[in-house]
Amino acid sequence: MGFGSTSRRQALQQLASLGALGALGVLRSERSGAATGAIPGFGGTVTRRQDAGYEGLRQSLVWHRSKPARYPDLIAQVRSEDEVATVLRYAAANRLKVAVRSGGHNPTGPSLRDGGICLDLSALAGIEVDRERAIARVQTGVRAIQLVARLAQDGLTFPTAHCPSVGMGGFLLGGGIGWNHGYRGGMATFGIEAADLVLADGRRVTASATEHPDLLWAVRGGGPGLFAAVTRFHLAAYPLPTAIRVSSYILPLDKLATMTATLDALAPAADPKLETLALLMHDPAAPPGTPPGQSKICFLTAFAFGYSEAESRAMLAPLAQSALAREATVKEENRAFTLFELFPKFFSTAQPGGYMGRYAAESAITDEPGRILHALADHFRKAPSPICHVIASHRMNLRAREDACFSSIARSYVGCFAIWDDERTDENNFRWLEKATTFMDPYAKGHYINEVEARRHPERIRQCYSPAAWQRLQALRRQYDPQAVFHSWLGQEAQAGGAGDLQP
Ligand SMILES: Cc1cc2nc3c(=O)[nH]c(=O)nc-3n(C[C@H](O)[C@H](O)[C@H](O)COP(=O)(O)OP(=O)(O)OC[C@H]3O[C@@H](n4cnc5c(N)ncnc54)[C@H](O)[C@@H]3O)c2cc1C
């Protein structure tokens, strides 16, 4: 399927900006006077803590502006999968700990740890597509929009993150709530057919249903604490939806009950290809100075990922006939989009005022998303920044799977995001987010590991897994990484009495 001229222009702009980010990283490395020979036999770039340019490079590894106060001794930027093995053998031989980075979007910045090596895999960005088998072999540094663009050339797609620049590595390992997520079992990680990994001793293995199935189990949800470096994912793609239609409705926050009742009525029966995204957000049209209590809105967007216009319109019809449509102050129905065009659409609505700020997130996997939204509503009115927002996906359709350690299982997801600009308000924003969890947790069956505030609350990591999955992950860590070369989840080592990596 071809892209229209507008979307092609947008696509080129977005891809160009990703290229610029990559170039910036390389430039910084070159300027740094990076140490050649610091890791014998390694042809990539190594930047030591004492090198000029280290700090610029370190900060560029975390996408948002809340840069962690954690300082690796070496930053190793690899260019090939072989080089990953070289770095790991060196780390094991020299008793250095390793933290892995792909796209750098994790809010808690877990790839930056004190001491040891930050292994930056972001330059591993190759994609190979087996069109006949609908399998995409995707290196870990590929960004969401790059995968969508490449697969579209073969009439295929995969549920990538909604944000174009999120790395496939961290997204897939943590679970991955992607476009059209309900259609493919709720989490993108379930679409990993196999993964190529480098283990702590430098061995390269492939994990699949028949080879190292225990490793594949851990890859599907192990998140930012995996005990191996994944270099490549083998992903099950599916036919690109060709007739995407989108309806959006805006209501004042006072009418939240109308939105949640409509979603609850829709949830059980609707086609799994209908994705709904309910937002509580600041009204970007509110005049400056409007009291916070009067400037918040509910914004529901429904995406129908159909293969014909009739199919997509039928998915959206119940919304058009609902009280939500009757009471909406603004609405737009059945608008045609390509998948590519949805990336800017999502960001123009979800995060007004720009999405690059200081950043913290919390989440609930829940069967009661409506109750969480109501419990949060008053607290949300007091959000310390106008960019803070709440997102709910009512229809994740998650099912427990024995072949995946991802084990927060329920019907829906709710995420709460504190995003702000002024460093002096850090504490206010963190406290606001912490208080939000007191409204979310009573209805949560678990949390989403890619969106828990592990910097201040490492105990929430364990709550992302069933007790059995947590225990099995610890056992596999001991088996595959007996020397503890890889860092564990943020804060877990400190809790276990090991090298502390918790920062204030
Ligand atoms: C603006 C924004 C939008 C987002 N949108 C979505 C969304 O729509 N859906 C969703 O589900 N999530 C979303 N996220 C969350 C995102 O999925 C996670 O933050 C994810 O961890 C980012 O992956 P990354 O590779 O970019 O990050 P990184 O920070 O590079 O990776 C996070 C951690 O994962 C581990 N890791 C990464 N790659 C590897 C590897 N190859 N081998 C071993 N370990 C590895 C490491 O521990 C690493 O520190 C969003 C985040 C942001 C900031």
The predicted model scores a pTM of 0.92
Query: Which residue did the predictor score with more confidence, 257 or 355?
Result: 257
- Number of domains the chain contains: 3
Q: Do 224 and 249 share a structural domain?
A: no
CB-based contact 475:224 (threshold 8 Å):
no
Q: Flag whether pLDDT at 350 surpasses 60.
A: no
pLDDT tens digit sequence for 142-155: 999 999 999 999 99
User: Tell me, what's the pLDDT at 8?
Assistant: 36
Does residue 497 lie in a domain region? no
φ, ψ for residue 420, nearest 5 deg: -155, 170
How far is ligand 1, taken at its centre, from the CA of residue 295, in Å?
Answer: 31
Query: Per-residue confidence at 9, pLDDT binned at 50, 70, 90?
Result: very low
**Which residue, 214, 239, 264, sits at the end of a domain?**
239
Q: Give the per-residue pLDDT at 357.
A: 87
296 occurs within a structural domain? yes
User: Residue 259 Cα, ligand 1 centroid: separation in angstroms?
Assistant: 30
| Residues 202 and 68 both lie in one domain | no
Strand partners, 229: 198
The CB of 104 under 6 Å from ligand 1? The reply is: yes
Tell me the sheet residues that pair with 204.
198
Confidence (pLDDT) at 292: 66
Q: Do the Cβ atoms of 364 and 281 come closer than 8 Å?
A: no
pLDDT of res. 32: 43
111 CB near ligand 1 (under 6 Å)? yes
Here the tokens at position 484 are 């503890």
In a domain, 503, yes or no: no
Whether residues 44 and 72 share a domain: the answer is yes
Protein residue closest via CA to atom 37 of ligand 1: 170
The predicted pLDDT at position 351 comes to: 45
Per residue in 182-203, pLDDT (tens digit) is 888 889 999 999 999 999 999 9
d(CA 221, ligand 1 centre) in Å: 12
Residue 479 lies in a domain: no
Q: Under DSSP, is residue 500 helix (H, G, I), strand (E, B) or coil? A: coil
Structural domain boundaries enclosing 17: 5-120
pLDDT at position 211? 97
Give yes or no for residue 25 having a pLDDT over 70: no
Highest-confidence range of 21-25, 83-87, 490-494, by mean pLDDT? 83-87
- Name the DSSP class of 47: E
Atom of ligand 1 nearest to the CA of 111: 49
Q: Rounded to the nearest whole angstrom, what is the distance from the C-alpha of residue 326 to the centroid of ligand 1?
A: 39
Residues 415 and 271 reside in one and the same domain: yes
Shortest-distance atom of ligand 1 to CA 63: 53
In a domain, 98, yes or no: yes
Instruction: Assign 365 to helix, strand or coil.
Output: strand
| CA distances, 233 to each of 100, 176, 198, 270 (Å) | 15, 13, 12, 31
pLDDT at 220 over 50: yes
- List the one residue out of 142, 139, 114 whose CA is nearest residue 58: 114
Predicted confidence (pLDDT) per residue in 358-411, tens digit:
999 999 999 999 999 999 999 999 999 988 999 999 988 888 899 999 999 999
Average pLDDT score over residue span 115-139 = 98
**How many Å lie between the centroid of ligand 1 and the Cα of residue 261?**
32
pLDDT of residue 347: 59
- Which of 99, 120, 141 represents a domain boundary (last residue)? 120
Of all residues in the chain, the percent with pLDDT exceeding 70 is: 88
Cα–Cα nearest to 88, from 197, 244, 10, 218:
197
How confident is the model over 79-106, as a mean pLDDT?
96
For residues 300 and 283, the answer to whether their CB atoms sit within 8 Å is no
**Alpha helix positions (H), 175-240:** 213-219
Q: Is 150 found in the same domain as 115?
A: no
Structure confidence at residue 267 as a pLDDT band (50, 70, 90): confident
CA 331 to ligand 1 centroid distance, Å: 33
Is residue 35 one of the residues assigned to a domain?
yes
Would the CB of 227 count as within 6 Å of ligand 1?
no
Measured in whole angstroms, the distance separating CA 20 from the mean position of its chain's CA atoms is 21
From 120, 124, 147, 171, the mutation candidate for ligand 1 (largest count of ligand atoms within 8 A of CB) is: 171
Q: Degrees (nearest 5) of the Cα angle 133, 139, 145?
A: 85
Please write the tens of the pLDDT for every residue from 224-247.
999 999 999 999 999 999 999 999
pLDDT at 167 > cutoff 50:
yes
- Would you state the pLDDT for residue 355? 55
pLDDT tens track for 297-321? 999 999 999 999 999 999 999 999 9
Give yes or no: residues 258 and 307 share one domain.
yes
CA distance 308 to 149: 21
Q: Is residue 256 part of a domain?
A: yes
Tell me how crowded residue 354 is: count the other CB atoms within 10 A of its CB: 10
Is the CB of residue 105 below 6 angstroms from any atom belonging to ligand 1? yes
d(C-alpha 307, C-alpha 348), whole Å: 25
- Distance (Å, rounded) from C-alpha 92 to C-alpha 36? 20
The atom of ligand 1 lying closest to the CA of 143 is 26
435 CA to centre of ligand 1 in angstroms: 24
Average pLDDT, the chain: 89
Query: Is the same domain home to 179 and 62?
Result: no
Is the Cβ atom of 446 under 6 angstroms away from ligand 1? no
Q: Whose CA is nearest to atom 32 of ligand 1?
A: 170
The reported pLDDT for the residue numbered 233 is: 98
User: 434 lies in a domain?
Assistant: yes
Would the pLDDT of 329 be above 80? yes
- Asked if residue 466 has pLDDT above 80, the reply is yes
Q: What is the mean pLDDT of residues 165-189?
A: 94
pLDDT value at 23 more than 60: no
Is the CB of 171 within 6 Å of ligand 1? yes
- 300 and 335 co-located in one domain: yes
Q: Answer whether residue 282 shows pLDDT above 70.
A: yes
Question: Is there a single domain that holds both residue 322 and residue 424?
Answer: yes
Tokens representing 292 are 């916070």
Tell how far the Cα of 495 is from the centroid of ligand 1, in angstroms: 23
DSSP code, position 241: P
Are both 275 and 374 inside the same structural domain?
yes
How would you label 355-388 residue by residue, b for 16+ Cβ within 10 Å and e otherwise? bebbbbbbbbbbebbbbbbebbbebbeebbbbbb
Cα separations in angstroms, 296 against 254, 372, 379, 380, 456: 9, 17, 11, 8, 28
Asked if 403 and 451 sit in the same domain, the reply is: yes
